[in-house]
Amino acid sequence: MGLRPNLLTRRAAGVASTTFALLLSTAAVGVVPAASAYSAAPDSTSCAEPTDAHADVHSDARVRGGAAKAAHKRHDPNELTAKQVQEREADFAAALRNSTLRSKSSLRTGSTEGQTVALAPISIPVVVHVIQRDSTRAGGNIPDSMINSQISVLNQAYSGATGGAATGFTFQLQKINRVTNASWYPIVQGSSAERSMKTSLRTGGKNTLNMYLGELSDDLLGWATFPKRTLDVMDGVVVLGESLPSGGTATNYNLGDTGTHEVGHWLNLYHTFQGGCSGSGDGVSDTPAEREPAYQCPTGRDTCTAAGKDPITNFMDYTYDSCMYQFTAGQASRMVNAWTVYRAAA
């Protein structure tokens, strides 16, 4: 599928150099409300979700093509119930209000999307943990070259170089940490082994992106945690190693956009199909509503009566890597707001 307009440019280009308007008061950055000011944040990333509340939840974070349907019964930390979204959004709005009051900044009061919010350059340190069973490629030994390409793909996607909105985020690789531990391979989502892996390996503050690479359970492409006011040892993104660009073997999903997608969750984006056709959907006004995930790369898909065709080219849908190439301006603002209140202070 060749919908991505700047695919060749994207793959050939280095990190785009983009100038952003600095509209957001620097005073706002780094102001995080005292934890005591709020009730405990909902743990949307809990692996032990009560089954009764989630019986109708769509499947998982990101699964491979045709296998997706079969996996629909699985719960995923990145597909939330309406109640979970409601709780998260209330916390987000409260945190934004508090931040605005404290800083008297230009943060838009109470808006979780806030089109007026600035796209200040924000540099995110990245630590990549390569989980290996042994030193073979089949055992998880993803070369440095692919990891560097993944960082490049992130920088291009978040700069708008692939055709979407510029977000203001850039990614700096700090370290590649290679770990040989057969008991963590494959990485099983929601397992005690995942917790022990992250407890042992996670580094940095809330602003540090910890990315775990490996073979994954259940044919998953990846999963991520959403931001919270307090640092959780589980914080980070897990990505199928073979989804990385420049050599990954995951057919249709090897251009690096599983990484792009999971980092979107880490920066507080929901799926474009969150909430289906009703309600506030994904909480972003410029992503048209979508009844359910799109797979592969459908033409002219339009599953809701509301205006706009399905956002199948958005990084937060489930389409092929070659099909998705953009974030919207609304998503960019939402991520920057979330960064300010949840992740800016290490």
Q: Point out which span in 41-49, 57-65, 82-90, 133-141 binds Zn ion (CB under 5 A).
A: 57-65
Nearest approach, Cβ of 277 to Zn ion (angstroms)?
19
Query: Cα–Cα distance between 287 and 316 in angstroms, integer?
Result: 10
Give yes or no for a contact between 225 and 235, defined as CB atoms under 8 angstroms apart. Answer: yes
Give yes or no for a contact between 148 and 173, defined as CB atoms under 8 angstroms apart. Answer: yes
Query: In this complex, which beta carbon is closest to Zn ion, that of residue 33 or of residue 259?
Result: 259
Distance from the Cα of residue 75 to its chain's centroid: 17
Exactly one of 79, 262, 290, 292 is catalytic; which is it?
A: 262
Select from 187, 190, 336 the least CA-distant residue to 267: 336
Query: Cα–Cα distance between 169 and 167 in angstroms, integer?
Result: 6
- Our finding on whether 258 is near Zn ion (CB under 5 A) is no
- Our finding on whether 267 is near Zn ion (CB under 5 A) is no
Q: How many residues bind Zn ion (CB under 5 A)?
A: 2
Among 41, 61, 107, 157, binds Zn ion (CB under 5 A): 61
Query: Cα–Cα distance between 316 and 180 in angstroms, integer?
Result: 31
Q: Point out which span in 56-64, 100-108, 178-186, 276-284 binds Zn ion (CB under 5 A).
A: 56-64
The residues in 67-126 that bind Zn ion, with binding defined as CB under 5 A, are: 78
Query: In this complex, which beta carbon is closest to Zn ion, that of residue 117 or of residue 237?
Result: 237
Query: In this complex, which beta carbon is closest to Zn ion, that of residue 215 or of residue 317?
Result: 317
Query: Cα–Cα distance between 106 and 110 in angstroms, integer?
Result: 12
Q: Which residue is nearest to Zn ion (CB)?
A: 78
Distance from the Cα of residue 52 to its chain's centroid: 26
Nearest approach, Cβ of 324 to Zn ion (angstroms)?
12
Nearest approach, Cβ of 234 to Zn ion (angstroms)?
16
Give yes or no for a contact between 206 and 235, defined as CB atoms under 8 angstroms apart. Answer: yes
- Our finding on whether 263 is near Zn ion (CB under 5 A) is no
Catalytic residue at 79? no
- Our finding on whether 225 is near Zn ion (CB under 5 A) is no
Question: At residue 191, what are phi and psi to the nearest 5 degrees?
Answer: -85, 165
Nearest approach, Cβ of 317 to Zn ion (angstroms)?
9
Query: Cα–Cα distance between 61 and 52 in angstroms, integer?
Result: 20
Q: Which positions are catalytic?
A: 262
- In the complex, the residues that contact Zn ion under the rule CB under 5 A are 61, 78
